[in-house]
Amino acid sequence: MAAVAETSTLTTGPGRTNDRDPARTARRGMPLLPAVALLLIFMAGPVIYSIYLAFTNKALRGEGADHTSLVGLTNFTDAFAKADFWNAMWLTLVFTVVSGVIGQNLLGMALALLLRKCAAWVSWLTGTVVIGAWIIPEVVAGYLWYTFLSGDGSLNKVFDWFGLGPQDWLISAPIVAVSFANIWRGTAFSMLTYSAALSQLDPEVEESAAIDGAGPLRRFWSITVPLIRRSIMTNLLLTTLQTLSVFGLIFVMTGGGPGTKSQTLPLYMYQQAFSFGQLGYGTAVALVLLLVGGVAALAYLKVLPKEDLT
Amino acid sequence: MTTDAPALRRTTRRSRPRDTAVKTGSSGILLIVAFLFCIPLVWVILASFDKNASLAVAWPGSPTFDNYRGVLNEKTTYRPIWNSLLLCGGGTILTVVCAALAAYPLSRYRSRATRPFLMTIIFASGLPLTAIMIPVYAMFVQVNLIDSMPAAAVFLAASSLPYAIFLMKNFMDGVPQELEESAWTEGAGMVRTLWSIVLPLMRPGTAVVTMLTFVGMWGNFFVPFMLLLSPDKLPAAVSLFTFSSQYGQVQYGQLAAFSILYSLPVALLYLLLGRRLRDGFVAAGGVKG
């Protein structure tokens, strides 16, 4: 994974003497060592280990705990045969698309656009509140939304006030509830990314388009979006991957329930590995989750023209 | 400047009514969004001062500090917050030091390996951390590192390294190289140059990296939840989760008070560095390097 750095042949910069002394190269690569060592042991290591674990019957108790043995593709075929697995897969996709790809990105973009055109104090206030939601710890955010949406919670009080019947969102539509919470929590990231991208734009380009008679929507689609395409793709990728791995928020709000109605892949994986003790099976599910992330990453990279990368 | 002034004034005058309308409209929409974003926060603030707090928002009949008094003891607040400080402080220092060291050669020397390395870093920064927690747990069990705070801190550091290196490198690219050249000719080593010339020049950038790393770790629930077991080693993220079971019957007022105490450090950090946060996102956007 990060092994490239160790064998790196650091050549000299344009303004420097042009020798390729290996000792010098090694010396220059030295500062990378602590980071590379940490990444190899704690990031690449677990990824490789998970590829092994997923093909074993390793368990916390019972047979798999005493004698761990390779079981081939059994974990995967088991998973693909289970309705609970497909339920988790489906909920993960809904959660990721609704709260990450659509919710956080659209709201973040809308906020970034509006922030450019509003009064200074409003920009400060909105920025602070939205970033505040992002910066508070995950578990706290989970409790806030739990109390807000639960049966005796604040939202139902408002509903009562309007003469509407009570609705227990956490029971009737838990995946919608956690999606809303995740939009609330994660929008700041998209807002900051898009604000930064928009602040880099040259205002004259848009102004001249406006003089040529292009309306705001047309200016946005034909000028702004192509110019910040790279930020949009990077942000879509990052929010997708972040949303795929959300665990604490859902765990605190619904615990995956009621039943399995909000059990996304990370919660399913956790339940299988620790409540049922099936480490091998849980790792196989985790590997599928990694694969989904990898496919999403490749899809975004494919859309992005090559010269835009790094 | 003088030649620009009349033209500027003309433009301003011509577009003023439209601009004002746009400004008012945008401000109005944003205020509504800000209001909606505030709603879930209102409960925690009011409930923390309410002796009889329930799940619904209610104005505390007689505001009191009893909830805070109730949680401000060693077991409930001081120890978990101290554990969080040790875990996240240690992890952050390790991350920032390793990231600064790694960013230096990446930013200063060209190499065929730089690009693939950076691509790997970007890819790793998106790696769903949740997906590797079972193998990490299994690994830690085998080498007997479960329930070790230093080990958990090192793992947190490693997991935040990719993004930190990436950000740090982009900030470092913004520091002109000329100043280092003279240090080099005077025989200063790489680490010395980095420490006494480059890092002081990119202090705002380092501050942003430090803050983002710390805030990320402070809020992280899953990693300590998996890797730490003993109640006296748990950081605030996990102790908050076990709050309800500690008391049997949930004391919502105390839960709210503790939530506020636990969120306070990162909120203060943000207020200290808030404006610089934007620099971080500008730098992160400059993937081209």
How does pLDDT run along chain B (289 residues), one tens digit per residue? 334 444 444 444 455 677 788 888 889 999 999 999 988 888 888 888 988 777 777 777 778 888 898 888 888 889 999 999 999 999 999 999 999 999 999 988 888 888 888 888 887 887 888 889 999 999 999 899 999 999 999 999 999 999 999 989 988 988 888 888 887 777 777 888 888 888 888 888 899 899 989 999 999 999 999 999 998 999 999 998 887 655 555 678 888 999 999 999 998 888 887 777 777 777 766 543 2
Is B262 in contact with A137 (Cβ distance < 8 A)? yes
More confident residue, A308 or B89: B89
SS3 B234: coil
pLDDT score recorded for residue A200 = 82
Q: Is the pLDDT score of A18 beyond 60?
A: no
Q: Nearest by CB to A31, from B57, B136, B190: name it.
A: B190
Q: Which residues contact B202 (CB under 8 A, 6 or more apart)?
A: B171, B172, B174, B175
Asked whether the beta carbons of residue B139 and residue A45 sit closer than 8 angstroms, the reply is yes
Q: Do B131 and A273 touch (CB under 8 A)?
A: no
A297, part of any domain: no
Which range of residues forms the domain containing residue A221?
Answer: 96-263
What token pair was written down for B96? 């920032």
* CA proximity to B55, closest of A170, A248, A131: A170
Residue A11 is assigned to a structural domain of this protein: no
- pTM of the shown model: 0.87
Lowest-pLDDT range, A41-45, A109-113, B4-8?
A: B4-8
Q: 66-105 in A: which are within 8 Å (CB) of B?
A: none
How far apart CA A308 and CA A230 sit, in angstroms, is: 7
Task: Identify whether A178 is part of a domain.
Answer: yes
User: Is residue A81 situated within a structural domain?
Assistant: no
Q: How far apart are CA B62 and CA B55, in angstroms?
A: 17
Domain harbouring A231, CATH code: 1.10.3720.10
Residue in A13, A137, A269 closest to B219 by CB: A137
| ipTM rounded to 2 decimals | 0.86
A206 within domain boundaries: yes
The gap between the terminal CA atoms of chain A, to the nearest Å, is 18
Q: Is B277 in the A-facing interface, judged by CB distances under 8 Å?
A: yes
**CB distance A183 to A107 below 8 Å:** yes
- Name the token pair of A115: 């922030």
Residue pointed to by tokens 């004259």: A204
Cβ–Cβ < 8 Å for B109, A13: yes
Q: Which residues contact B242 (CB under 8 A, 6 or more apart)?
A: B231, B234
- Percent of chain A whose pLDDT exceeds 90: 45
Q: Is residue A157 part of a domain?
A: yes
C-alpha span between B3 and A235 (Å, rounded): 41
Contact A147 B155 (CB under 8 A): no
- Compute the average pLDDT of residues A90-100: 95
Residues in chain B closer than 8 A to A238 (CB atoms): 125-126
Which pLDDT score, from 0 to 100, does residue A23 have?
78
Is B61 touching A (CB cutoff 8 A)? Answer: no
Residue A111 is predicted with a pLDDT of: 95
Read off the tokens for A203.
């205002």
Q: How confident is the model at residue B261, as a pLDDT? A: 93
Does residue A307 register a pLDDT over 80? Answer: no
> Does A139 lie at the interface with B, CB-CB under 8 angstroms?
yes
**Inter-residue contact A247 to A270 (CB < 8 Å):** yes
Q: How far apart are the C-alpha atoms of B16 and B13, rounded to whole Å?
A: 5
Q: What percent of chain A has pLDDT over 70?
A: 91
B182: burial class by Cβ within 10 Å (0-12, 13-18, 19+)? exposed
Tokens of A189: 């990231």
Cross-chain residue pair A122–B281, CB shorter than 8 Å: no
User: Which residue type does B82 have?
Assistant: W
What pLDDT sits at residue B13? 46
pLDDT at res. B67: 86
Give the pLDDT confidence score for residue B81 in this predicted structure. Answer: 94
Answer yes or no: is A303 within a domain: no
Output the CA–CA distances (angstroms, integers) from residue B234 to A302, B80, B84, in the order listed: 43, 6, 8
Over the stretch A192-246, which tens digit does the pLDDT of each residue have? Answer: 999 988 888 888 887 888 888 888 888 888 888 888 888 898 889 889 999 999 9
Lowest mean pLDDT among A37-41, A102-106, A257-261: A257-261
Q: What residue ranges define each of the domains in chain B, with the CATH number in brackets?
A: 1-64 (no CATH), 68-288 (1.10.3720.10)
Asked whether A280 and A58 are in contact (CB, 8 A), the reply is yes
Q: What per-residue confidence (pLDDT) applies to B243?
A: 75
The DSSP-derived string for A192-252 is HHHHHHHHTS-HHHHHHHHHTT--HHHHIIIIIHHHTHHHHHHHHHHHHHHHHT--HHHHH
Count of domains observed in chain A? 1
Statement: residue A249 has pLDDT above 90: yes
For B:69-88, CB contacts with A below 8 A are none
Question: Which is it for the CA torsion A93, A95, A100, A104, positive or negative?
Answer: positive
A289/B134 Cβ within 8 A: no
- A297: how many CB neighbours lie within 10 A of its CB? 18
- Chain A residue closest in CA terms to B38: A129
More confident call, A299 vs B126: A299
Choose between B157 and A30: higher pLDDT: B157
First-to-last C-alpha distance (Å) of chain B: 34
Note whether residue A59 is domain-resident. no
* Dihedral over Cα of B169, B172, B173, B174: its sign: positive
Please tell me the predicted confidence (pLDDT) of residue B4. 43
Collapsing DSSP states into helix, strand and coil, what is residue B73? coil
